[in-house]
Structure 1
Amino acid sequence: MKYTQLGRTGLKVSRLVLGTMNFGPQTDEADSHAIMDAALDAGINFFDTANVYGWGENKGRTESIIGNWFAKGGERRDKVVLATKVYGNMDLDPDASSVWPNHDKLSALNIRRAVEASLKRLQTDYIDLYQFHHIDRSTPFEEIWQAIDVLVQQGKILYAGSSNFPGYKIAQANEIAARRGGTIGLVSEQCLYNLAERRAEMEVVPAAQEYGLGVIPWSPLHGGLLGGVIKKEAQGGRRASGRAADTLADPASRKQIQAYEDLLEKHGIEPGEAALAWLLTRPGVTGPIVGPRTAEQLESAIRASELELSEELLTSLDEIFPGPGPSPEAFAW
């Protein structure tokens, strides 16, 4: 496994990030633990989760599964760079007629409450990377950074990162952090970024690079669309659903995905592995998040991390998925 620095920090992380969103809802605890063991054995040391994973009445379940895995010992916690997130509502009262205030978003109160709850579920004393899952338009960054400063001083978190932030919010957050002193500001941005969805290249990725944030792409296969979905359907396998199904319903988009699969068949490369390998060639990318439901899916992702794409293939992929180009040229002269 290859490693890189997380943005401008001295922290070394694997070029694949183990996403855990499926742990609980789709993968039971025993299989989740087996996947984490396999990831660690393969050298993946960067694990990503969120306090809301588990969803619905099971919010927090994913963090608990990870915490039970840490509790097994064997230096599991010491070997892992642990990232979780705060923003979503964590009020678990199923009988509540409405959302109880101050159990979500990025107020200093909720950040304090949420980090304590995550530490308890994760059975750890500290979180390496604490990420804001979404922007909070109601809370000023001065308040957010004050809360983060306290947590860093208490040793409960080491770094802060963002997720789903637009470029201007990355800039705003880090400019305010710099004016305040204390915290070093955001060190990473987790964003939607893949071959079929390249809008992040317009402003998010450039902003991240300018401010020294590592870029952590989520949904690297675009909801399965880039994982050989047409071929799988033809072979009687799992049919496309959600975003992938909606995209394939459009004839022009289906033609684009067919061209992608045909290109990779010509080169003898699995589509899903090519999509991951492509992200690893992109400037500013620390590593994509892979969310395996099974051990076999993890093995495929590990193979992708070692895959070298030729310049000819990279050029052909750009022709199929050209991307928007940088701003302001993407929308101006």
Structure 2
Amino acid sequence: MKKIIIGNTDLEVAPINLGGNVFGWTLDEKKSFEILDAFTDKGFNFIDTADIYSHWVDGGSGGQSETILGKWMKERGNRDNIIMATKVGGASGTHPVDTSKKHILETVDKSLQRLQTDYIDLYYTHFDDEKTPVEETLEAYDEIIKAGKVRYIAASNVSPERLIESMEVAEKNGLPKYQALQPHYNLVERTDYETKYAPLAEKYGLTVFPYWALASGFLTGKYRSEEDFSKSVRGESVKKYLDEKGIAVLNALDKVSEKHNTTPATVSLAWLLAKPNLGAPIASATSTKQLQTLFDAPELALDQSDIDLLDTASK
């Protein structure tokens, strides 16, 4: 399988990034281990989590996903084969978004403890509090990189302005630079990324790992009517997509997936993989059947007519 090198790093990842938000939420430890084993058995090595997963959904403090991943890596003895990404700065329970140096230095140690590891491969600014000076945040990252706790840093929910400022401050002061970008981007959420962030990814050589790559399951095609929203815990969050544009996207996905004898989810991920600077879409799975749709995406080569059809439907 062809691997991708992240930004200007020595991190090589397979082209699907497994989302860890379901571990400890919709999947218990045993089921999580089964999904992780199946994922890595196929040669994939890139896992995404965050310090606040997975009880952010009900106001808890999080950490369950990291804990499960730590136990799994310890039991399997495979830490050196995994590229582990986690995040700092997200709000959890009563704790607000925080990218201060104090918070980062405290939080990284808790993540390392839960992950049962000495280092994090890729450490994201999950959300930017937009008040901590970017110098302070980058100085904190510099400290933990020099201490060997983190290898490289990346940005998720950071405004274009603060992202530009971070890159300029890093360049000027010899501080660590973000190497990857994790935006909200998929067939039904294109405008924000393509107009504001894609030019920055190109300019700064950032490798892009889109989250909600399947629009919370909408792009799998399983939500096609109001009655379908009760099919999963995520059902309510996809209501907004069931409009004229969303139905047009599903129809286009049906055509392309039928042509290639595959699924709408696989086509959706393959469409992302065809985009410039795209490294690996982030998608979670709660069954081996769902995993197969992820495995199939890097193998699917969409032709220009497929891409044009999907681009037009999703504009």
SS of the equivalent of 1:179 reads helix
- The answer for the alignment partner of 1:331 in structure 2 is none
- The answer for the alignment partner of 1:157 in structure 2 is 150
Equivalent-residue separation in structure 2 for 1:294 and 1:81 (angstroms): 22
- Is 1:212 matched with 2:205? yes
* Residues 1:259 and 1:234: Cα distance change in structure 2 (over 3 Å): farther
Deviations 1:169-204 (A, max 9, x none): 221111001111142x10011010111111201121
* Residues 1:215 and 1:236: Cα distance change in structure 2 (over 3 Å): closer
Q: Percent identity?
A: 35
- Is 1:33 matched with 2:33? yes
Kept in 2, the 8 Å contact 1:108–1:144? The answer is yes
- The answer for the alignment partner of 1:63 in structure 2 is 66
> CA offset at residue 230 of structure 1?
4.8
- The answer for the alignment partner of 1:13 in structure 2 is 13
- The answer for the alignment partner of 1:241 in structure 2 is 235
Kept in 2, the 8 Å contact 1:60–1:121? The answer is yes
Q: State the AA in 1 paired with 2:66.
A: E
Q: State the AA in 1 paired with 2:84.
A: L
- The answer for the alignment partner of 2:88 in structure 1 is 86
Kept in 2, the 8 Å contact 1:165–1:204? The answer is no
Structure 1 or 2, whichever has the larger Rg, is 1
Q: State the AA in 2 paired with 1:246.
A: K
Kept in 2, the 8 Å contact 1:20–1:47? The answer is yes
> CA offset at residue 270 of structure 1?
1.2
- The answer for the alignment partner of 1:107 in structure 2 is 100
Deviations 1:60-92 (A, max 9, x none): 111000011011143x1100011000012457x
> CA offset at residue 233 of structure 1?
8.4
Equivalent-residue separation in structure 1 for 2:140 and 2:229 (angstroms): 52
- The answer for the alignment partner of 1:276 in structure 2 is 269
- The answer for the alignment partner of 1:96 in structure 2 is none
Kept in 2, the 8 Å contact 1:192–1:219? The answer is yes
Equivalent-residue separation in structure 2 for 1:164 and 1:142 (angstroms): 17
SS of the equivalent of 1:244 reads helix
* Residues 1:300 and 1:265: Cα distance change in structure 2 (over 3 Å): closer
* Residues 1:284 and 1:236: Cα distance change in structure 2 (over 3 Å): closer
Deviations 1:221-253 (A, max 9, x none): 1122211135698999937822322321x3x23
> CA offset at residue 321 of structure 1?
1.3
Kept in 2, the 8 Å contact 1:7–1:286? The answer is no
Equivalent-residue separation in structure 1 for 2:131 and 2:90 (angstroms): 14
> CA offset at residue 14 of structure 1?
1.1
Q: Structure 2 regions of 5+ residues with no counterpart? A: none
Kept in 2, the 8 Å contact 1:227–1:272? The answer is yes
* Residues 1:25 and 1:7: Cα distance change in structure 2 (over 3 Å): same
> CA offset at residue 266 of structure 1?
4.4
- Is 1:128 matched with 2:121? yes
* Residues 1:272 and 1:258: Cα distance change in structure 2 (over 3 Å): closer
CA RMSD of aligned residues (A): 2.2
- The answer for the alignment partner of 1:193 in structure 2 is 185
Moved over 4 A (4+): 230-237
Equivalent-residue separation in structure 2 for 1:40 and 1:283 (angstroms): 26
- Is 1:3 matched with 2:34? no
Please report the TM-score for the alignment, with normalisation by the length of structure 1: 0.87
Q: State the AA in 2 paired with 1:242.
A: E
Kept in 2, the 8 Å contact 1:130–1:159? The answer is yes
The structure with the greater share of residues assigned to helix is 2
SS of the equivalent of 1:59 reads coil
* Residues 1:256 and 1:125: Cα distance change in structure 2 (over 3 Å): same
* Residues 1:109 and 1:234: Cα distance change in structure 2 (over 3 Å): closer
Please report the TM-score for the alignment, with normalisation by the length of structure 2: 0.91
- The answer for the alignment partner of 1:259 in structure 2 is 251
Equivalent-residue separation in structure 2 for 1:241 and 1:235 (angstroms): 7
